[in-house]
Amino acid sequence: MRPSLWRVVLGALGVLAAGYAAIAIMVWLHALDLLGHPPQRPADAALVLGNRAYWEGQPNPCLTGRVDAGIALAREGLVRELVMSGGVDKEDGRIEAEVMQAHARLSGYAGPLLLEPVSASTRENLSMSRSLLQAAGVKRVIIVSEPYHLWRAERLAHASGFDRLFDVQYTAAPTSCWRRWGMLFKGALREPLAIVNNGMNGYLH
């Protein structure tokens, strides 16, 4: 390869790396801000967003930690019911919402619980939960996910009009995945790419 072409390739890679780093830093700072500012206003429901259902033969701690954060909101009296959103896990065929429900019940949560068992993305988590929440009379929602995920979830909620139908707050779930690795685990490392993909498809505002 000619030296001039090498310089073009290296320059392009440098631009891509810089863009990735900028998005990752933005997501990281937003995550830290949410962790430091949990919801203060009571809501009708916590909408817990799905993730991979199982990991190494056990319920995925990145997912069950989100459920635990939803349960904590209920126990603190901030929400009156939980809504689990997540469809079929492509890796093992389990339904994420059902895995989340099972974990909530095993953890001692006995309150109202609704399932949205079809969605396959964050955008679908929001769109497919909308009618379920409205049918349940929900007007105020706390969206629960891992810290790295909420920057994109907020933009998707705004772009889709979700945050105009409901009074929305956000809870960053400090799962064991997040506490151990922060932004240095697979899901978080992929998040800047997911943001770019959603942006290119016109899903983010």
pLDDT in tens, 25-50: 999 999 999 999 999 999 999 999 99
- C-alpha closest to that of 81 among 48, 50, 54, 107: 48
| Percentage of the chain lying above the pLDDT 90 cut | 75
pLDDT on residue 10: 67
* Pairwise CA distance, residues 174 & 35, whole Å: 8
Handedness of CA 97, 79, 64, 183 (dihedral sign): positive
Low-confidence ranges of the chain (pLDDT < 70): 1-13, 205
The rounded mean pLDDT for the chain is: 92
